Structure 1
Amino acid sequence: MALTPDDVVTKQFQHVRFKEGFDPDEVDDFLDEIVVEWRKTIAENEELKAKLAAYESGSAPAAAAPAPAPAPTPAPAPAPVSEGAPPAAASAGIIELAQRLHDEHVAEGQAKRDQLISDAQAQAAAIVSEAETKGREELARLDRERATLEGRITELRQFERDYRQQLRSYIESHLRDLETTANSSGPTPVSAVGL
């Protein structure tokens, strides 16, 4: 395919879905075509310059054998650009700029990811630390409350023992008094007055 300047100007690339820009493979393929055609043009230009120099020097035109065209080898990376090919240089510069922007965005995304992970880990550690502190405080409060309740229970048991002892002593003393009074007075006749 003979590549013309109009082909370069009118070339349309398809947009890629789910991200901005053009399909990198399609752009690379098109740039490879440009490089091949440009190399052919440079080779033809050199051949014509050699023929012109031969005519000017007076040599026979049959003596100049046509130089074979270089084999088309697509360049995967931007090749060194001759001064006669500013569009290729611009393309290489654009590709280099795009690669640099890509690398910057990737580095920025990784830094942001690392920052988010670091913040989340710090927040998780703070939450865990706060929960552990609250748990220890709650356990200490419950231990104090248990100790207070156990002390109160001990006091109430002691009070119950003392009260029972005093009540028993009181009842026994009254029973003794009743027995003593009954024994000392003897049998008392019951009066039938109120009956």
Structure 2
Amino acid sequence: MALTPEDVVNKRFSQTKFREGYDQDEVDDFLDEVVVELRRLTQENEELKAQLASGAPASAPAAAAPAPAPVVEEVVEAPVVVETPAPAPVAAAPAPATDADDDAASTTNLLQLARRLHDEHVKEGADKRDALIAEGHATAARIVAEAETKGRNELARLNQEKAGIEHRIDELRTFEKDYRAGLKSYIEDQLKDLTSSSVDADKAPASSGFSGFGG
């Protein structure tokens, strides 16, 4: 797999279905691929450096320029010898940067980018986890509060219904008591009337029923 910094930057992870955030397994697999590619690039860089170090010819030192011959000027009074100073040696130009150095720099930048992306994904996952935990706690507290409120309301309703039933029972007991008393009084009055009628019938003359017969 030829991995480039653009691949790391443009990599997108699919989101999980049961919670928000990236799939941790997918992130780990991608980072494993990044590590393998970085190790391969590092090994290639080391091999290139070794080849450059073993195959580069040693640069011979620059030969010093010969000093010019002295110029003698004849003067009438006395001969004077004038010597020209030797030119200063030319400094060697710095060696140009090699491809191996560029690859090493790219590898370092890629590794730093991969670490930064990994840290960002881990932090984002931790933030999502904390948010879900806090939301779960809030939801649980709300459900418990609603259940307690509903339980109190239901208990109050049941107590009210119980009081109403007890009041109805008291009314029925009072009605039964009054009904029994009234029924007893009515029966006693009927018995008195029957007794009084029987006594009156016994007092009547026995022949009074045959007065219509005889001449």
TM-score normalised by L of structure 2: 0.59
State the shift of 1:28 in Å: 2.9
State the shift of 1:42 in Å: 5.9
State the shift of 1:22 in Å: 7.3
State the shift of 1:41 in Å: 4.7
Q: Which of 162, 166, 173 is the equivalent residue of 1:150?
A: 166
Number of the residue aligned with 1:101: 117
Indicate the RMSD between aligned Cα atoms, in angstroms.
3.2
Q: Which of 36, 49, 57 is the equivalent residue of 1:26?
A: 36
How do residues 128-167 of structure 1 correspond to structure 2 at under 5 angstroms?
128-167=144-183
Q: Does 1:120 align with 2:127?
A: no
Q: How many pairs are equivalent? A: 152
Greater RCO (CA < 8 Å, at least 6 residues apart): 2
What is the rounded CA distance, in whole Å, between the counterparts of 1:96 and 1:191 in structure 2?
Answer: 140
Number of the residue aligned with 2:14: none
Number of the residue aligned with 1:12: 2
State the shift of 1:140 in Å: 1.0
- Counterpart AA for 2:50: K
What is the rounded CA distance, in whole Å, between the counterparts of 2:209 and 2:54 in structure 1?
Answer: 163
Q: Does 1:89 align with 2:105?
A: yes
Kept in 1: contact 2:34–2:114 (CA 8 A): no
Greater Cα shift, 115-124 or 183-192: 183-192
Q: Does 1:52 align with 2:52?
A: no
| Structure 1: gaps spanning 5 or more residues | 1-10, 59-82
Larger Rg: 2
Call closer, same or farther: CA 1:178–1:22 in 2, change over 3 Å.
closer
State the shift of 1:97 in Å: 1.1
What is the rounded CA distance, in whole Å, between the counterparts of 1:143 and 1:191 in structure 2?
Answer: 73
- Counterpart AA for 1:145: E
Q: Which of 36, 56, 65 is the equivalent residue of 2:46?
A: 36
- Counterpart AA for 1:52: S
TM-score normalised by L of structure 1: 0.64
Call closer, same or farther: CA 1:40–1:178 in 2, change over 3 Å.
same
State the shift of 1:147 in Å: 1.1
